[in-house]
Amino acid sequence: QEQEFKDNIEENDDLIEEENKKQQQEQDKIQKSYENRINQLTNQLKESITVNINNFDPNILEPDLAEVQYDVFISHAYEDKEDFVRELAETLRNDYGVNVWYDDFSIKWGDDLRIAIDKGLKASRFGIVILSKNFISKGWTNYELNGLFQKEMTFGKTILPIWHNITKDEVQKYSFSLAGKKALSTSMFTVKEIAEEMKRLLVSVE
């Protein structure tokens, strides 16, 4: 009986081992299938990227000379629209006749965001930067700010900072160069006063 018991254990062990082999083989097949599919998709993506690069027209980012030139580009975080930015943009445009590039005014349904922003940056004389906690945490705002810095390096004074619900220490931690620029603060200036400052600046450089 003892021998029979041992034989049964060995037989069960063999069955378990055989079952494990089958499961491993199935997993290997699945893994192989996934790898093949990933390779296939990767190759398709590479081909697509190659085609897009080969067909890319570098002049697409150059502003059309016939298009509108803006007085100011407003760079801001979406979260700051309702409590400040939209009112500023509308006041500048409607009450002071400032030609404003503002996403709600300037980007149409279906537009490519990056291309629209690049064109707006190139076609704007100044760039108002609404510095806030929301601004410094965003990707698009940093992209716009980089563009404005590049423009300032080439053409001189471009960036006009506005501090919105943010401290000097927070601005310094984000950017010493921005902290060193004279800024207007929404805690000290009303929307109307800021718009008047913008209008005075435009008159002074005409």
**Two tokens at 35?**
């790898």
Which whole-number Å values give the CA distances from 41 to 36, 47, 48, 104, 179, in the listed order? 9, 10, 10, 37, 46
d(CA 72, CA 58): 25
Torsion of CA 148, 152, 154, 156, to 10 degrees: 150
- 144 catalytic per annotation: yes
Residue in 131, 104, 119, 112 with CA at minimum distance from that of residue 70: 119
In the set 26, 47, 144, 193, the catalytic residue is 144
Unique residue bearing structure tokens 């990707």? 139
Q: What is the DSSP letter of 132?
A: -
Unique residue bearing structure tokens 């279906």? 110
Active site residue ranges? 144
